[in-house]
Amino acid sequence: MNRALTIAIDGPAASGKSTLGAALAERLGYTYFDSGVVYRALTWLALERGVDVRDEMELVRLAESARIEVVRPTAGDGRQYTVLVDGQDATWSLRTPAVDHNVSVVAAHPGVRRAMTEWLRQIAGGGAMVMVGRDIGTVVLPGADLKVYLTATGEERARRRYREQLERSLQAEYDQILAEMRRRDELDSGRAIAPLRPAPDAIILDSDHLTVDEEIDQVLQHLALSEVATR
């Protein structure tokens, strides 16, 4: 690429956004950032401190006072990054069923989203960024140079999350994970503020039928076309 671009990747839970985003950023030499981390970190902190996830004002206060840092991996345990919450390594704690169950409720609060959106925009301000989430192309970075919406069937996404939890020696039940996945999809798509949906100008990729390399190839083809169009 001849200029530092900003790339937004959105999609539902376990659609493969993080895998694609990290691999694409590595290929381009860009920074990778998973916006969902900040919502998961806030959810985990609220649960740890006994804050009601339905109490928007308390959550906003917590968001404004908490110190959430996302840094390069500090352990060789398969993590893509390390998440520090007030100095504590909470990386894998953010992927527990309790956080999965509550994060969509936390993220639906308008005050929480406003606070996090401003922070995410500052992070992406310098370009050369691949940011993934659920409203990056529609709300956080509507002017992104390229927008991707990555999707997959609920069954396939549930299988991925099931395998992920087994690999981390966590108890897992496929049917329960699938039900939770469908519940989260409904919450994310139906919320009044920044609902999960593709941006009108996003390219749609179905990860059910594509390998990560094939996904990257398609994204790079679109980037090349965008570069030609702007010359």
Report the binding-site residues for ATP. 11-19
Task: Please give the Cα distance from 85 to 162 (Å, whole number).
Answer: 26
Q: Do 65 and 57 contact (CB within 8 A), yes or no?
A: no
Tokens 């937004």 correspond to what residue?
8
3-state secondary structure of 91: coil
Q: State which amino acid sits at residue 62.
A: L
3-state secondary structure of 224: helix
Task: Please give the Cα distance from 172 to 230 (Å, whole number).
Answer: 48
